[in-house]
Structure 1
Amino acid sequence: MKVIPTACTAALLAGTAMSSVAQGVYDDALRLDPNSYETLTVTVDGEPMAVRRYEAVYVGNPVAMSATQPARSMGPGGSPASADGQELADLLTYQKMAIYVPEASIEDQSTAMIFAVNNAGWFASELRTSVETGGEYVSTSDTDKVGAALGAGYVFVDVGTRGRGIVAADGTAAGKAPAAIVDAKAAIRFLRLNDDVLPGSAERIVITGTSGGGGLSTAVAASGNASDYFPYLAEIGAAGIDADGASSLNDDVFATIAYCPITSLGYADMAYEWLYQAQRDEQLTGVSLEASQTLRSQYPSYLESLGLVLDDGTPLTADNMTDLLMQIVTQEIQDHIDEGGSVPALGEMFEFTSRGQTVEVENTWLSVVDGQIVPFEIQDFLTFVTQTSALKSVPAFDRTANSGNEGVDGENTLFGPAAQEYSNFTPFGWNMNEVAGDGSGADDTGLKWNEFVETKEGQAIAAQVKLTDPQAFLQGNADSAPYWYIRHGMIDRDTSFAVELALYRAVAGTDGVKDVNFTLPWMTPHSGNYDVQEAYGWLASVLSDAE
């Protein structure tokens, strides 16, 4: 499976500019028949509602998939698990979309489009069916985003995308980075191409997802219209890409609602070890401790290289990152108290729900006296977080084949050539690879990372890392989304708080961003769509402000 078509690459290297008049090679074939829909009858808040359902393959040259797909274990919001050898009813479900339009919005050309991705863990996501005949939805629920969208009259879009874990018909890995982002952009382009015949406005697309889907959402929101993706879009026949690789359509979005985004994967290991170094020093020995110490030492210079600043213009550095974390955690606690929430006494139990189970963890760090928060230490808070859920292995993300980690783990199957199962994608992971013959690492290539990235193969992996990272586009892209709603739970240890705070500050420092709504919700683990009323209230507000 080719990754970049030669003709398009040559055109881009020659400096081909975005054309305002060029028509995409597949645009005629991708035009939607406005009369080709089925009408579903559902209930919203107990009242009947008619919803039109359109379905379309959103690319002109979809990737042919294997008739069988390997089993895989998925997290919440991800692709349904499939058993080894299971036949797929429709091999195009990875590059197909369903568009749901409330009948009351048929004549509304300005309503928002909720663009839902489901790529937990950056895995592939088959097309889902969020709206079904006979389905019951509640617009006032804090967990029903479909009900909130339909109740508000928004168009709701389900999108199937490639991602890691799927196999093409030729036996290669069809979902290597940046496939998920490229597919999402192609689907957005399809909506823009057909904006004149579809209800709603493709200028008001709101991309939303959780975990890997949150990472995908932030990458798309950050990189609107970036030409880096044009060759990949050309390969799959995306709308608006002409024969020379130039673009006549946009793929930027109006807003994102992103939950616990797993992002900045090339640098997340450093941030993880830096944040939890005190806890690691207590828990680890030997090679794992040495790995943690090496990674954490690299984080301060990386953070400084981002050039982020606080609201008062002070540079965000490793010296004040935990101060920012303390400030946001403290504000969230105070908001919880002000809203009538309770805090267990020291020695009593916090109770919360994680992955559908009730969990209790002793309060060892937080005390409230007469409604006032007693000052606490950030390290005590971080220790509490690690008690709600054990920390990941070292490294946390580029985890395969180094530091004693056995088996294919972490995000490694997202990177590398399509003919190879996995690859290390960071300097540490690459240089410390311990499995001879896996095709990855200095042990197989004879090249350390700094030498490897000078090769064609190394540059390809470096490009994969860049194209999945919103930090690579924020602060320099005039077409990043203007509105951002980002949530990462207060007790979520699936990535470093430092990654999420750096994302928040990068968004806040990007020209053209008009609103960034970020917090660490009270006693919330790794999850999403738990505050739908707040999120969709925010969306209604920014939509109104944009009018």
Structure 2
Amino acid sequence: MGIGATAGVAAVGGIALNARASEGSSSSSASSDSLVFDPDAYSKLTTTVTDTDGDEHSVTYHFWKAITYVANPVDEKYQSLNVSVPVEIDGTAVDASDAPILFANSVGGYMPSSVADATGIGASGGIVGPGGGAPGGTASASAAPSASADASAAPNANGNTNNTGGALNTNQLLALAAGYVVVEPGARGRTLKNSDGEYYGVAPAAIVDLKAAVRYIRSNKGRIPGNTDRIVSAGTSAGGALSSLLGASGDSKLYDTYLKELGAADASDAIFATGAWCPITDLEHADGAYEWNWGANPLSSGSKADQTVSKELRSQFAEYQAGLRLKGLDGTRLTARNYDEYLVRQYLEPSATTYLAALSDSDRAAYLAANTFITWKNGKATFSWDDFLTHVGARKKSAPSFDAFDLSTGENNEFGSGTTQARHFTAYGQKNDTTGLTAKRLDSDIPELLRLMNPMYFLVDKPNQARTKHWWIRLGTNDSDTSHTVSANLAAAAHTLGDDVNHLYYWDEGHGANTDPGDFITWIAKVTGHRSKVKK
């Protein structure tokens, strides 16, 4: 059973994209002239960027603030973007006219994201809503990591803070210092309501908005600085899911009706490369994947999640995984029976090895003494899957983790419609509903919304030829916001199609970690073939 066996394509519907933010919003179409980038409408700013070696760099850049990227915006506060273009680095003029464009969304938890209050790169208004935070002017800004995750930003085992804002902000600042153009798009999110109580930021609003922003950039080739054929998307958590989806679904006609209604530019929405950190995606299969991965782990209270539910969901995952017929990066056919061995061999042991090898002899000895489940021999770490699960400890979420029986998760809200705040998006959730719903079947528009929100459809069912061919995927080993199989399946699907996949896990890191941002910036230069142009 493949992707399409779970959710087929239905008629487009279920969300009124023109539901206005307030009574005073205009419904009239704007002139197409509104989508022409004004190269002279910038402010000149200077910032200091500290690179991964600890060296400081002075960067002067041109900054375009809150440009509305569609002709018929539902809410300009969210449907706008910022552009930052370096013109001088450490006193030397640079030419970014043909530089890669880092397209960094700050979405967390499928919440709204706005750049309207920006004062410069990385200092946007960011995520707006309960539990949300914005990528601020430093790498310590926090953001809600996933729709149903704990919004707190707590230090992990390695002392880093688990947040999406810091990860993204670091990428943006380093990209600017490398001479790249940085675009920060806003997007609508699940909590937005108009005066009639209608939710106008639920699925598929966020991905439609990001596609419209890409179209705006590409339609302004020759006016907007940077190489519009070398757009590299970046996002964390739900933003990582959207970054993956943006890369997988480039130029898909499934979104055309939505984009036309917004007055999106008549241009391609395909991107060149995708960066995704801990993507919260493949939502309709996420409950089963989560129980396969974390079902044996206790909750923070010390008790276990409902084991009957966990067992039933694990069975669903086994069926789904078998139907994908995916091969791992090493050629292994990935099934529920061998996925644990694959994760240990392909990702977890190499991750632990890299971490331990970088420690001093004394620090390594101390770590191994405190974590006796690891065998360290000939410079390599080995351990079992069960011991790894014990090492991680408490799972983040109960069961089901995403389509909750009581409709309490952010993902339930993401699939809301009209004045209905939350809906089930799996048959299992609908069947076991505890809120008093009488309908036993999912609403008719849910299958299509699931397809529009899941990159796996564009990589497995009918591989999209306009997809990105370059993938940078990262996940912390201690991240129990979703299953480790989610990003591994994404990587395997892209790899199976022959794409360039750079995927690894960060040892002992939690949700939102980004421990190798400098490598990401170097990777962009490598895959795009960019060479910095310094003006002599």
TM over 0.5: yes
Give a deviation string over 1:451-483, Cα, whole Å, max 9, x none: x4xxxxx23112122211110111410111111
Equivalent-residue separation in structure 2 for 1:421 and 1:483 (angstroms): 36
Q: Structure 2 counterpart of 1:320, which letter?
A: N
2:292 is matched with 274
Equivalent-residue separation in structure 2 for 1:297 and 1:528 (angstroms): 30
2:68 is matched with 57
Residue 366 of structure 1: CA displacement? Answer: 1.7
TM-score (normalised: structure 2): 0.78
RMSD: 3.1
- Which piece of structure 1 moves more, 313-322 or 262-271? 313-322
Aligned CA distance change for structure 1 residues 317 and 130 (closer, same or farther; 3 Å) = farther
Specify the SS of the correspondent of 1:103: strand
2:420 is matched with 420
Equivalent-residue separation in structure 2 for 1:463 and 1:546 (angstroms): 42
Equivalent-residue separation in structure 2 for 1:179 and 1:345 (angstroms): 49
1:478 is matched with 465
Structural mapping, 1:392-431, within 5 Å = 392-401=397-406, 408-431=408-431
Specify the SS of the correspondent of 2:506: coil
Residue 335 of structure 1: CA displacement? Answer: 2.2
Structural mapping, 1:8-27, within 5 Å = 27=32
User: Structure 1 residue 33 and structure 2 residue 20: aligned?
Assistant: no
Aligned CA distance change for structure 1 residues 50 and 308 (closer, same or farther; 3 Å) = same
Equivalent-residue separation in structure 2 for 1:154 and 1:302 (angstroms): 40
Give a deviation string over 1:383-423, Cα, whole Å, max 9, x none: 22124xx3311111112517xxxxx2241100031221100
Q: Structure 2 counterpart of 1:175, which letter?
A: G
Residue 129 of structure 1: CA displacement? Answer: 2.9
Specify the SS of the correspondent of 1:49: strand
User: Structure 1 residue 94 and structure 2 residue 60: aligned?
Assistant: no
Equivalent-residue separation in structure 1 for 2:229 and 2:203 (angstroms): 26
1:337 is matched with 356
| Unmatched segments (≥5 aa) in structure 1 | 7-23, 65-91, 241-248, 350-362, 403-407, 437-442, 453-457
1:77 is matched with none
Equivalent-residue separation in structure 2 for 1:307 and 1:323 (angstroms): 17
Structural mapping, 1:501-540, within 5 Å = 501-511=488-498, 513=499, 515-540=500-525
| Number of matched pairs | 454
Q: Structure 2 counterpart of 1:485, which letter?
A: W
Q: Is the 8 A contact 2:291 2:314 kept in 1?
A: yes
1:543 is matched with 528
Equivalent-residue separation in structure 2 for 1:137 and 1:386 (angstroms): 31
Equivalent-residue separation in structure 2 for 1:47 and 1:393 (angstroms): 45
Q: Structure 2 counterpart of 1:103, which letter?
A: V
Residue 317 of structure 1: CA displacement? Answer: 1.3
1:18 is matched with none
- Which piece of structure 1 moves more, 198-207 or 30-39? 30-39
Give a deviation string over 1:69-103, Cα, whole Å, max 9, x none: xxxxxxxxxxxxxxxxxxxxxxx221011101112
1:72 is matched with none
Equivalent-residue separation in structure 2 for 1:369 and 1:47 (angstroms): 41
Aligned CA distance change for structure 1 residues 372 and 58 (closer, same or farther; 3 Å) = closer
Equivalent-residue separation in structure 2 for 1:546 and 1:155 (angstroms): 13
Aligned CA distance change for structure 1 residues 416 and 137 (closer, same or farther; 3 Å) = closer
2:224 is matched with 198
Equivalent-residue separation in structure 1 for 2:233 and 2:434 (angstroms): 39
Residue 537 of structure 1: CA displacement? Answer: 1.7
Equivalent-residue separation in structure 2 for 1:516 and 1:25 (angstroms): 41
User: Structure 1 residue 365 and structure 2 residue 365: aligned?
Assistant: no
Q: Structure 2 counterpart of 1:112, which letter?
A: P
Aligned CA distance change for structure 1 residues 253 and 26 (closer, same or farther; 3 Å) = farther
Equivalent-residue separation in structure 1 for 2:364 and 2:445 (angstroms): 50
TM-score (normalised: structure 1): 0.76
| Structure ranking higher on relative contact order (CA contacts 8 Å, 6+ apart) | 2
Structural mapping, 1:48-447, within 5 Å = 48-55=58-65, 56-64=67-75, 92-104=76-88, 107-127=95-115, 129=118, 131=120, 144-240=170-266, 249-279=267-297, 288-311=306-329, 313-327=331-345, 328-340=347-359, 342-343=363-364, 348-349=369-370, 363=371, 365-369=373-377, 371-373=379-381, 375-387=382-394, 390-401=395-406, 408-436=408-436, 443-445=437-439
Q: Structure 2 counterpart of 1:207, which letter?
A: S
Q: Structure 1 counterpart of 2:106, which letter?
A: N
Equivalent-residue separation in structure 2 for 1:488 and 1:51 (angstroms): 32
Equivalent-residue separation in structure 1 for 2:338 and 2:197 (angstroms): 48
Equivalent-residue separation in structure 2 for 1:546 and 1:293 (angstroms): 52
Q: Structure 1 counterpart of 2:385, which letter?
A: I
Specify the SS of the correspondent of 2:296: helix
Specify the SS of the correspondent of 1:411: helix
Q: Is the 8 A contact 2:298 2:393 kept in 1?
A: no
Q: Structure 1 counterpart of 2:15, which letter?
A: V
Equivalent-residue separation in structure 1 for 2:182 and 2:455 (angstroms): 24
Q: Structure 2 counterpart of 1:333, which letter?
A: A
Give a deviation string over 1:148-190, Cα, whole Å, max 9, x none: 1111111111111001111134421111111110000000000
Specify the SS of the correspondent of 2:479: coil
Aligned CA distance change for structure 1 residues 410 and 293 (closer, same or farther; 3 Å) = farther
Equivalent-residue separation in structure 2 for 1:473 and 1:321 (angstroms): 22
Equivalent-residue separation in structure 1 for 2:221 and 2:32 (angstroms): 13
Q: Is the 8 A contact 1:217 1:256 kept in 2?
A: yes
Residue 279 of structure 1: CA displacement? Answer: 3.1
Aligned CA distance change for structure 1 residues 195 and 336 (closer, same or farther; 3 Å) = same
